Amino acid sequence: MMLTPEVIARHASRSTPRYTSYPTAPHFHDGVDHETYLDWLAALPADASLSLYLHVPFCDTLCWFCGCHTKITRQYAPVAAYLDALVKEIEFIGNAAPETAHVRHIHWGGGSPTILVSDDIRRLSGAIRSVFSVAADAEFAVEVDPRGMDDAGIDALAESGLTRVSIGVQDFDPNVQAAINRVQSFEETRRVVDAFRARGVASLNIDAMYGLPGQREAQLAATLDDVLRLEPDRIALFGYAHVPWMKRHQSMIHEADLPQAVERYDQSAFAAQRLLNAGYAQIGIDHFALKHDSLATAARDNRLRRNFQGYTIDSADALLGLGASAIGRLPQGYVQNEAAIAKYERMIQAEGCAVTRGLALSEEDRVRALVIERLMCDLTFSARELSGAPSAIVSAVIAQAQDALANDREGFLTPTPDGFMVTPEGRPFVRNIAAQFDSYLTTARGRHSQTV
């Protein structure tokens, strides 16, 4: 079905969550605190599998498109002080978790974790392994800013067991880079990619963006051609989320320079087709992977998961968030650390833990979380997956699925024996489809980026 510009604009410009969790973070509250967290940690099974996310909230320059919790510093002293607190939190939480639990995934995010000097990279990795049992085949991924990345830092990461490097590119066009205050050449990026590969770090993820100021298909095409020259296993193709009410520095980007809904949709479709033509499989709404990659394999086997890092194969029993603003997920619910760096450091030094908010999952939350995750990952709704849940909740959710089918005027859904499947036309709008099962969305807590 050919979608008209009016239909595209109506659906693409809607404001919906990215659903890296359900319920989403705006609904967390201070009724969940560090005592709750410790109780939840103590209740984990002795043989629990764990995933660790470490947040390093510092950068040396401010990218105007950034939506992360980060602080700009040209001095290393604040980073060193923060690292002291982070190591202390790792020790405290590691000792509170079951001694025989094993870590299957480690992810360092930011900010820019590679702002750490080489000795501190080793210190942070050593702190993890001193209190957690890390599986020999654990995946260890780090978000790398190639600008100024030196060989000492690359050596330290490789020696720490890095298995996947994730490099932010966004766009290689000089004019677009100037408009987002991120100047990064292809040559510098390739130097860092080659250096990691020379040290045995074979897996590479590249982040690119559409919807940036002044960006048109020509610039996007050239950037994707350069990205493909780097031969990444995975590519994350994100739509720029313009949320200046949340991130005031984004006001440096003039809204008049941003492509509007239909052009963003066209850019997204253009980029997706280019990557498909290059042999990548489309994963969910915004990831692409070579067909041998574990993410593509998981998608084919319906084992794909979604968490705060996006699409993943991580099926650990618990995700432990470490660092300022970091979010964790346990069987009982979500926890989030204090976001303000100075307050986080004070809380860690005083108590060893900095959880200030979160959310305990209800039975209804669990059912709706499953429905939304499967929609975001597999593009399907299946009533069979709800077996065993309370019948009243299941009935309400199935009724919503039937309403979604009945009210589908655009051909975004097609019925299946026990539910529906999202069509290729509906795929870009799956966030809107998932939102129909979000019982919190009408409470209007928080504002979200546009769908496409």
Mean pLDDT on 118-137: 97
User: Has residue 444 got a pLDDT over 60?
Assistant: no
Tell me the domains of the chain and their CATH numbers.
24-360 (3.80.30.20), 363-443 (1.10.10.920)
pLDDT of residue 283: 97
| In contact, 18 and 451? CB cutoff 8 Å | no
Distance CA 294, CA 292 (A): 7
Cα–Cα distance measured from residue 452 to residue 440, given in angstroms and rounded to the nearest whole number: 21
User: Partners of 109 in the beta sheet?
Assistant: 55
The greatest distance separating any two alpha carbons of the chain, rounded to the nearest whole angstrom, comes to 60
pLDDT at 273 over 60: yes
CB contact set of 336 (below 8 Å; sequence gap of 6+): 25, 28, 321, 325, 326, 327, 328, 355, 356, 357, 358
pLDDT digits (tens, 9 = 90+) for 187-238: 999 999 999 999 999 999 999 999 999 999 999 999 999 999 999 999 999 9
Q: Which residues are annotated as a binding site for S-adenosyl-L-methionine?
A: 53, 65-67, 110, 143, 170, 182, 207, 241, 327
- Binding-site residues, in ranges, read 53, 59, 63, 65-67, 110, 143, 170, 182, 207, 241, 327
- Parallel/antiparallel/unpaired status of strands 413-416 and 419-422: antiparallel
Mean pLDDT of the chain: 95
pLDDT digits (tens, 9 = 90+) for 332-377: 999 999 999 999 999 999 999 999 999 999 999 999 999 999 999 9
The per-residue pLDDT for range 84-95, each reduced to its tens digit, is: 999 999 999 999
Place of tokens 């109506």: 10
pLDDT of residue 141: 97
Say what the pLDDT of residue 446 is. Answer: 57
pLDDT band at 15 (very low <50, low <70, confident <90, very high): confident
* Residues contacting 191, CB < 8 A, separation 6+: 146
Looking only at the bridges linking them, the beta strands covering 203-210 and 234-239 are: parallel
CA 114 to chain centre: 18
Please determine, for residue 62, whether its predicted confidence score (pLDDT) is greater than 60: yes
What residues form the annotated binding site for [4Fe-4S] cluster?
59, 63, 66
- Give the C-alpha separation, 350 to 372, whole Å: 38
Q: Look at residue 293 and tell me whether its pLDDT is greater than 80.
A: yes
